[in-house]
A = this chain, B = another copy of it.
Amino acid sequence: MRIGDLAATSGLSTKTIRFYEQAGLLPEPPRTPGGYRDYPERTTQRLAFIRDARGAGLTLAEIRSVLALRDAGASPCTHVTALIDQHLTDIDRRLTELRQTRAALRALAERAAATDPAECTDADICRILAGTNSERPY
Q: Does A24 contact B (CB under 8 A)?
A: no
What distance in Å separates the Cβ of A8 from its nearest Cβ neighbour in chain B?
16
CA distance A78 to B135 in the complex (A): 24
Across the interface, which residues of B come within 8 angstroms of A117, CB to CB?
75, 77-78
Q: Which residue of B lies closest to A78 (CB)?
A: B117
Q: Does A92 contact B (CB under 8 A)?
A: yes
Contact B77 A128 (CB under 8 A): yes
Q: Does A70 contact B (CB under 8 A)?
A: yes
CA distance A26 to B88 in the complex (A): 40
Q: Which residue of B lies closest to A89 (CB)?
A: B105
Task: Tell me whether A105 and B56 are in contact in the complex, defined as CB-CB below 8 angstroms, given that A45-B123, A130-B49 are known contacts.
Answer: yes
Contact A125 B56 (CB under 8 A): no
Across the interface, which residues of B come within 8 angstroms of A138, CB to CB?
57, 91
* 15 A-B pairs with C-beta separation under 8 A: A45-B124, A48-B130, A48-B133, A51-B133, A55-B137, A56-B134, A57-B105, A57-B138, A66-B125, A76-B120, A81-B109, A84-B105, A84-B112, A87-B105, A91-B105
